[in-house]
Amino acid sequence: MSCAIALVDGNNFYVSCERVFNPALERRPVVVLSNNDGCVVSRSNEAKALGIKMGVPYFEVKHFAKSHGLVWLSSNYALYGDMSARMMSILGAFAPEQEIYSIDECFLDFTGMVVDQVAHGRDIRARVLQYTGIKTCVGIGPSKTMAKLANHIAKKQPQFRGVFAWNALSASEQAAMMGSIEVGEVWGIGRRLNARLATLGIRTVLELKCADPAVMRRRFSVVMERTIAELNGTACLDLEEVASRKEQIMCSRSFGRQVTTLAELKEAVMSYIVRAAARMREQGSACDSVTVFIQTNQFKADDRQYSRSVLVPLSVASDDTRRLGAAAQHGLASIYRPGYRYKKAGVILTGLQPVAAVQDDLFSSYDRTRSTKLMGAIDKINGIYGMHTVSFAGAGIRKPWRMLTNQMSPRYTTSWNELAVVA
């Protein structure tokens, strides 16, 4: 029996979240920018119609503000994360298995459920729209790859009104549809593979589907063979129910402006350690090494370039922010050089292991119980009152180097003081 897998994703997700609480943004060209207010990460359909591409730096399109009333907003992740959680919870009710793929995409496996696929897709779409105000597209197929393709079709072909299921077409109609779509639209076929396939005369999805899997496996990889099998209706990729424990945790950010002093870098690095350590504790891990890296802006050819990283091993694996912070600062001091304009810094926690299995140094006077209690208390307070309620002085208070978020909308769903108002 073939599987029934749906891929549901939010349309223009970040912009859609903003519009739920600020209906004045409806029907206008709107873009949401990445945290440095650098690049476009979400566009309304009106903004897309102006030719604004994903990822362009805002300064390239700011002229549209005057000519077409383009509105720009900084990313409001507190809002998007909460809206995403709601959407995923709602979607989870529609199938026995769900894989949350990204902040706005999710796979649902409803194999075995006796439902009309398109009708089920319409129910899903209607409920998400009613409960959250977010419009979605639903693509349904016998495999994840086919579901992704179906989602693409639902999005690009308005006659399907946001829901497309392969089984609603006859076999010949399916072939015709596949013949009309470029092979580059298939999940996993990026620009390079697209070019390589073109040299073999494979330009449409249909041509890839009909390619000899054994030959393609030799020419490319087993992943390509799997993709072809999926295009032929065999589900090879399982839904990943639970996010696997991370093997390393990285936290890094670009600076809002260039940073030159060690003091500022220290604050930044400590901030990243605070965040990475909190994430690590959430998954019950400790780490045995801390890597710190700093780099100048590689796109500014005029600036002297410098990029270094250092790995600082710990004598005993730890999940204590203070210990990790000390190690990170030690590493930073060894790689910092004055006279450079740093654009980015980051930390990576590696050698992750279950914290319960950590063995202490024989001669250490380190009080693990107190450390655990302190970290536990901090994590709990931050969980209730907000992410930065309790932090570490070394991470800085004003943080002048931090990302610019000067046009962020209110945190409508996570802050009592920032609720949307009604007249």
Partner 1 sequence: MSFLTPVWASIYPIKQPLPLFSDKVPAGFPSPATDHMDQRLDLAEHVVTHPDATFFLRVKSDSYSMTGAGIFPGDLLVVDRSLEPKSGRVVVASINGELTVKRLHKHGDAITLKAENPAYQDISIKDGQELMICGVVAFVVHAP
3-state SS assignment for residue 291: strand
For partner 1, the closer of residues 172 and 365 by Cβ is 365
Which one, of 102, 184, 97, 119, lies nearest residue 149 by Cα?
184
By the rule CB under 8 A, 377 interacts with partner 1: no
Which of 55, 66, 67, 130 touches partner 1 by CB under 8 A? 130
3-state SS assignment for residue 395: helix
Count CB-CB contacts under 10 A for residue 189: 20
Strands 285-296 and 353-354: antiparallel
By the rule CB under 8 A, 363 interacts with partner 1: yes
Contact (CB, 8 A) for 348 and 290: yes
- From CA 272, how far away is CA 254, in angstroms rounded? 11
Residues 273-312: x/- map of binding to partner 1 (CB under 8 A)? -----------x----------------------------
For partner 1, the closer of residues 118 and 358 by Cβ is 358
Least Å distance between CB 26 and partner 1?
7
By the rule CB under 8 A, 243 interacts with partner 1: no
Distances (CA, A) of 187 to 159, 223, 225: 23, 11, 13
Residue 61 burial by Cβ neighbours in a 10 Å radius (0-12, 13-18, 19+): buried
Which of 362, 384, 393, 397 touches partner 1 by CB under 8 A? 362
For partner 1, the closer of residues 336 and 412 by Cβ is 412
For partner 1, the closer of residues 89 and 389 by Cβ is 89
By the rule CB under 8 A, 108 interacts with partner 1: no
By the rule CB under 8 A, 103 interacts with partner 1: no
- From CA 387, how far away is CA 232, in angstroms rounded? 46
By the rule CB under 8 A, 384 interacts with partner 1: no
Which of 26, 60, 116, 182 touches partner 1 by CB under 8 A? 26
Which one, of 142, 156, 211, lies nearest residue 183 by Cα?
211
Least Å distance between CB 53 and partner 1?
27
Q: Which residues bind partner 1 (CB under 8 A)?
A: 20-21, 23-26, 86, 89-90, 130-133, 284, 355-360, 362-365, 368-369, 372, 376, 412-413, 416, 419-423
